Amino acid sequence: MNLKQAQYLEAICKTGSITAAAAELYVSRTVISHCLRDLENEFDAPLFTRTRTGIKLTEAGEILRESCRQMKASYTIAKDKIDALTCKMPQARLNIAVTTTTGLRLFPEFFTLFGEQCPDITYTISEMSAYDTIESIQEGVIDFAVTPVPLSDDYFDIDKLFLHKLSSIIYMSKNDPLSKEPFLTKAQIAKRTFVTPATPNPLPYPVNITMRVNSLDLIHNIVASGLAITVLPTDFTKGWDDIACVPLETPLISSVHIIWNKALPHSSAFHRFLSFAKKYDISKLENY
């Protein structure tokens, strides 16, 4: 098995079909099919089963996929070290993801201090939906993600570090009848239309979420027009003068964590960032 085959295998797993994998990688379907057949011949075991909704990994396929992830991670670490020897790029690199509601609190203090303490580490920060951060962490695409989404026990390969508490309230148009209420109850908002970032329902009970978008400007326009209400962190929308914010009868408090894939090998830059996060003065984020 080589890195190209590992890339093809991951694409099949991600898209659920050979045709879609070929389109994503800009190769022919025949190339992907031959790769799959070569891998099955090499390991003398079927790697996929075909279902009505696409193709699914067999037990042997799951084992091979995990090996592919480890292979790609080891390759990246080795390439970084060799590139550093030849002065092609800095040895220490990180890919970090933040969700729409968590990134704001990390700037500028958190990353400014990290840059001062670890000036040799180059990092890229991307905004992702909560759904994408979990998948990207599992696939090793990013090193860390900052997310308020609680993780179930099913994510046994993901570890986490508590960062801070996040208090959220309801935002609505100033013309909304509920905007004059001192607080809102479950019954008052149960049948209202919600727009939220691309995350699971942030409330502890079902509500009517009809739109999920990551653009805060779009959320602002939707809420200001009265088309929907939203739930966002307290004081998150400073400057939205046409928006009213009303707390919930039962305060909505969630925990923000830094998460990572503990099943993958990691670089020295990874461990230095994690060490920095563990020592960071959390009160700076709590008092945002």
- Mean of all residue pLDDT scores within the chain: 86
Predicted pLDDT at 226: 95
Above 80 in pLDDT, residue 90?
no
Q: Give the span between the Cα atoms of 44 and 37, in whole angstroms.
A: 10
Instruction: Return the CATH fold of 165-253.
Output: D-Maltodextrin-Binding Protein; domain 2 (3.40.190)
Q: Would 3-72 and 165-253 be classified into the same CATH topology?
A: no
Q: Are 77 and 265 in contact (CB under 8 A)?
A: yes
CA distances from 123 to 94, 200, 278 (A): 5, 28, 18
What is the DSSP code string of 19-69?
Answer: HHHHHHHTS-HHHHHHHHHHHHHHHTS--EEEETTEEEE-HHHHHHHHHHH
Q: How much is the average pLDDT of 106-135?
A: 88
Render pLDDT for 168-217 as a digit per residue (tens, 0 to 9): 999 999 999 999 999 999 999 998 999 998 888 889 899 999 998 888 88
Predicted pLDDT at 287: 47
Predicted pLDDT at 237: 73
Q: Are 66 and 74 in contact (CB under 8 A)?
A: no
Q: In this structure, what are the phi and psi dihedrals at residue 22, rounded to the nearest 5 degrees?
A: -65, -40
User: Which CATH entry fits the domain spanning 3-72: 3.40.50.2000, 3.40.50.300, 1.10.10.10, 3.40.640.10?
Assistant: 1.10.10.10
Burial 184-194 (b: 16+ CB within 10 A, else e): beeebbeeebb
Say what percent of the chain tops pLDDT 90. Answer: 37
Q: Are 173 and 243 in contact (CB under 8 A)?
A: yes
Q: Which amino acid is at 101?
A: T
What is the Cα Rg of the chain in Å?
A: 22
Model's pTM, two decimal places? 0.67
Predicted pLDDT at 180: 94
Predicted pLDDT at 288: 45
Nearest CA to 160 among 251, 252, 248, 260? 260
Burial of residue 160, with CB atoms counted within 10 A of its CB: 0-12 exposed, 13-18 middle, 19 or more buried: middle
Question: Residue 87 — pLDDT band, cuts 50, 70, 90?
Answer: low
Name the CATH superfamily housing domain 82-159+256-286. Answer: Periplasmic binding protein-like II (3.40.190.10)
Question: Residue 132 — pLDDT band, cuts 50, 70, 90?
Answer: confident
Q: What residue ranges do the domains of the chain occupy?
A: 3-72, 82-159+256-286, 165-253
Above 60 in pLDDT, residue 91?
no
Render pLDDT for 137-163 as a digit per residue (tens, 0 to 9): 988 889 999 998 888 777 888 999 999
Predicted pLDDT at 84: 64
Nearest CA to 285 among 256, 259, 249? 256
Above 90 in pLDDT, residue 33?
no
